[in-house]
Amino acid sequence: METIDLLKFCTKEEALGLTVLQNAYTNSLKRAGSESSSANLKNMSEAKRLLGEEKMRLEEKYKDDVNPVPTGPKWENFVNTPTKLVVLTFLQETGWEVKKSTFYDSHCATGKLKKNRNGVYTKTAVKKYAETWLVHGGLGTTVPEDDENLSRIKLQSEIARIDTAEERDRFKLEVERGKYIARDQMDRELAARAVVLDNGLDYLFRAFVHEMVALVGGDADKAPLLLDFCLKKKDEQLNLYANLEDFTVVMEEE
């Protein structure tokens, strides 16, 4: 029930408290709409909860005033009849909203209301038809299943939207706290480190190629060939590293 309707039945103290909660929720809703931060969404959710709890309490307290017992049709006055017009007249006079053309051409013609084997419209059949397909001025309307499903889908979509927004805000907060870094920033960092590694390996092979040859008792005159071989293999490995989009690192415990 809307807050403005509840205020008609509340005491002054209850009306003041309800108004404060309603204003708090309205303001939190505006803040969350302009800046959907995690804090704003949390405040909005809490304000909505408090307002809802207070409204439920007041609706329960004043339920006889808020939701008076509706006056329904007097089914005990219905008499089984073979005539459509008698049925239609009874329904209209007892508050059921149905037009003559709808009753004849749509509902009766399509079998929503049928006669029994004896060729009459029974009270049971007419009552079931009215409560299933018609709107009553005193009782309200039965929500069709399709509309009920649509409302449920809309509610689920709204919940999913709020959950997604909260998840996005949590992620933004974790990024601000340094838990994650941007992909392009990481790529630049890896590229810079690859350049440092490339230069370092070049220096390693050039500076120590003769020492490597001597270490294995080889031919020093062939040191340039060894250096060229090492540099080519190094370039091949770095090119492979640069072109890999996904890779697996296996770490074994010693």
Q: Model confidence over 177-208: pLDDT tens digits? A: 877 777 788 878 888 888 888 888 888 888 88
Residue type, 242: A
Give Cα 158 distance to the centre of its chain.
5
Could you tell me the residue ranges of all domains in the chain? 3-66, 75-138, 183-243
Chain-centroid distance of CA 213 in Å reads: 68
What pLDDT was estimated at residue 203? 86
Query: pLDDT per residue over 76-87, tens digit each?
Result: 888 899 999 989
- How far apart CA 164 and CA 47 sit, in angstroms, is 20
Q: How large is the average pLDDT for residues 110-136?
A: 90
Position with higher pLDDT, 252 vs 237: 237
Which of the 8 DSSP states describes residue 77? Answer: G
In 3D space, the residue among 81, 96, 171 whose CA is nearest the CA of residue 138 turns out to be: 96
In tens, the pLDDT along 17-64 reads 888 888 887 787 777 666 767 787 788 788 888 888 888 888 888 776
Contact indicator for 207, 201 with CB cutoff of 8 Å: no
Tokens read off for 54: 């207070």
- Would the pLDDT of 162 be above 60? yes
Nearest to 43 by CA among 166, 168, 177: 166
Decide: 35 and 51 in contact? Cβ < 8 Å.
Answer: no
Please check the confidence at residue 117 and state whether its pLDDT lies above 70.
Answer: yes
Report phi then psi at 122, rounded to 5. -85, 160
Question: Average pLDDT, stretch 94-111?
Answer: 90
Q: Which is more confident, 241 or 234?
A: 234
Confidence of residue 72 (pLDDT cuts 50, 70, 90): low
Q: Report the distance separating Cα 33 and Cα 79, nearest Å.
A: 58
* C-alpha R_g of the chain: 39
**CB of 6 closer than 8 Å to CB of 55:** yes
**How does residue 103 score in pLDDT terms, banded at 50, 70 and 90?**
very high
Which of 117-126, 139-148, 157-166 is the least confident region? 139-148
What pLDDT was estimated at residue 87?
Answer: 92
Beta carbons within 10 angstroms of residue 88's beta carbon: 20
Letter string b/e over residues 164-192, b meaning 16 or more CB atoms within 10 A of that residue's CB = eebeebeeeeeeeeeeeeeeeeeeeeeee
Phi-psi region of 140 (alpha: psi -120 to 50; beta: other; left: phi over 0): left
How far apart are alpha carbons 223 and 214 in whole angstroms? 10
Confidence of residue 154 (pLDDT cuts 50, 70, 90): low
User: Residue ranges of the alpha helices (H) in 80-215?
Assistant: 84-93, 100-101, 123-133, 145-176, 183-215
- DSSP-based three-state secondary structure for 179: coil
Q: What pLDDT was estimated at residue 191?
A: 81
Q: What is the mean pLDDT of the chain?
A: 78
Contact 133, 107 (CB under 8 A): yes
